[in-house]
Every structure is written in structure tokens, then in C-alpha cells.
Chains A and B, each alone.
Chain A
């Protein structure tokens, strides 16, 4: 009887362990960049190649940086969500066009709409490496001091926006 209880206990513990393991998403690698200053960059704009933008230009504002590319199907999936964030006026949304070509990216925006305040053009993905990008789309919330406060890997969805992004941006905006 005692032995049966032991076996059952071990079995239940193992099932619980595996159940937790199955629910974890192996793609969700914790970013070491959370709480660190956003890596510096200065890149040309996608739409106006002779203008440049640096992360420093956003100091004093809470903003969202969304990494996307026209070759990335999940980016198209999350595009309505990104559009909704931008339209709601929650925070300025800056696009980082990652390893893309202007000839592909501009028609993509024309087809699907351009919700971004501006888009920087990271043609060779070098800035993407600095931001630890490995699965486009990725989204960062950056605070007034230019510190990365949150990173989402993969397409944004309404739940993530409601439960994570919105409360965080509001808290940061109210001085948190």
C-alpha cells in the first residue's frame, strides 16, 4: 500500500513536471536586454532614405518599437494589432524594417497600411543583432529614459496588448 502510494506520487509529480514543460514556449527566451538602455543606432528612414532617426530622438517619451519585414508572414498577421495600438494613441509606434528591400517593403505598406510614426531601415540586420532579434516580428516597449522595459517575440495579439503592453505603457506614462 505504501509502495503504491509512493509510485502514484512519483507518477503524479512526473506528469505535473511534463505538463508544465509542455506549456512553456521554447521560443520565449528571456531577453537580457530588459532593464538595459536600448542599444544605440542611427538609421535612414524607409520612406525617406536621406533622413535619419536615432533611438535618442525618442528620449522623454514612452514608445514602442516593432520589428517587421515584408517577407515575414506573422508580421502580416499582427499588422492589424499594431495598427490598433498606433491608432489608439497609446504610444508612438516606430517600425524597424528588418533585412528587407525597399522595393518589397514599400508596396507591402501600401497594401496593408502604414500605422507607424516612422520606420527605420535596417537593411543588413546589424541593428537587429544589437536588439537580440531572432524571430521577427518582435516588439519592444522603451521608457522615457530610453530603457527597454518589455520585449515580445512573435506576433502581437489582442491579449498580449491588453494584459502586458497597455498596462505597462500606462504605468510608465504616469511616471512609474
Chain B
């Protein structure tokens, strides 16, 4: 226990490592408070997982390895940026689809309005001009 504490103090003194730990923990979700990243959360599990990231990076593993480690245990949900694949295509393409559909509807409505604008006959037009004088 003391050894672990001492070890984390020593490790914490390496600013490059700390920066890597922090940037990686911004990419991973805390599963206890699901709308926070591991970096933002102070849940005990988030602290454990941050230590886990630090240990693994210090042991020479790459960011990719650590992400794979987390995904193998907690699933894709642990990634703050979901991967692009079949089951998430709606998530990624949905907003663009909404924009396209919305824009198409807008264009159609505007066009219809323009056509529906009242067409005046010449007689009506001259009457209107007289009234305005």
C-alpha cells in the first residue's frame, strides 16, 4: 500500500507521462458517472482507471494498447468518441441526415410560398397604383 503510494508519487513527477495520462483520460468515459470523462471524474473507479493508464504507459505501452485494454473490459461505451462502424452509423450520419432533410424541406416550403404569391391582373394592378397615390 505504502509502496504503491510512493510509486504513484514518483511517477507523478514525470510531467511528460502525466500529460499523456491526462490526454488519454480525456478520451475515456467514466462508467460510474457516464457523462464525465475519466479525467473529469473523481469516482473511485475513475481514479483506479487513471492509475491503470499511468501504470501501463509507464511500463512502455502505447496509447492504443491502453485503449484496447479498456475496450476489452468495458466495451466501446468507454470511448468518449464512439468508433465508426455498423452499429454506430446512425450516430455519426444522423446529424448530417437531419441537416439534409431539414434543408430539403426548407427549400420546398420556400418555393411553394413563392408560387403561392398572389398574381395580380393588369386591372387590379392599376387600381392598386391609384389607391397608393
The reply to whether A32 and B48 contact each other, CB–CB distance below 8 Å, is: no
With A32-B72, A134-B74 in contact, do A129 and B31 touch (Cβ < 8 Å)? no
9 contacts across the A-B interface (CB closer than 8 A): A32-B72, A124-B4, A125-B44, A125-B48, A129-B48, A132-B74, A134-B32, A134-B45, A134-B74
Number of A residues, CB within 8 Å of B: 16
The interface residues of chain A lying within 8 Å CB-to-CB of B118 are none
**Interface residue A26 (Cβ < 8 Å from any Cβ of B):** yes
The reply to whether A135 and B75 contact each other, CB–CB distance below 8 Å, is: no
Min Cβ gap A97→B in Å is 15
**Interface residue B130 (Cβ < 8 Å from any Cβ of A):** no
Min Cβ gap A69→B in Å is 11
How long is the Cα–Cα vector from A27 to B75 in the complex, in angstroms?
13
The reply to whether A31 and B49 contact each other, CB–CB distance below 8 Å, is: no
Would you call the interface of chain B mostly helix, strand, loop, or mixed? helix
The reply to whether B75 and A31 contact each other, CB–CB distance below 8 Å, is: yes
The interface residues of chain B lying within 8 Å CB-to-CB of A31 are 74-75
**Interface residue A104 (Cβ < 8 Å from any Cβ of B):** no
Residues on B lying within 8 angstroms of A by beta carbon are: 4, 31-32, 34, 44-45, 48-49, 52, 71-77
The reply to whether B44 and A30 contact each other, CB–CB distance below 8 Å, is: no
**Interface residue A61 (Cβ < 8 Å from any Cβ of B):** no
- A18-39 contacts to B (CB < 8 Å): 26-27, 29-33
Closest 5 CB pairs of A and B: A134-B31, A132-B73, A32-B75, A29-B77, A132-B74
The interface residues of chain B lying within 8 Å CB-to-CB of A131 are 73
Min Cβ gap A60→B in Å is 26
The interface residues of chain B lying within 8 Å CB-to-CB of A27 are 34
Min Cβ gap B70→A in Å is 9
Min Cβ gap B48→A in Å is 6
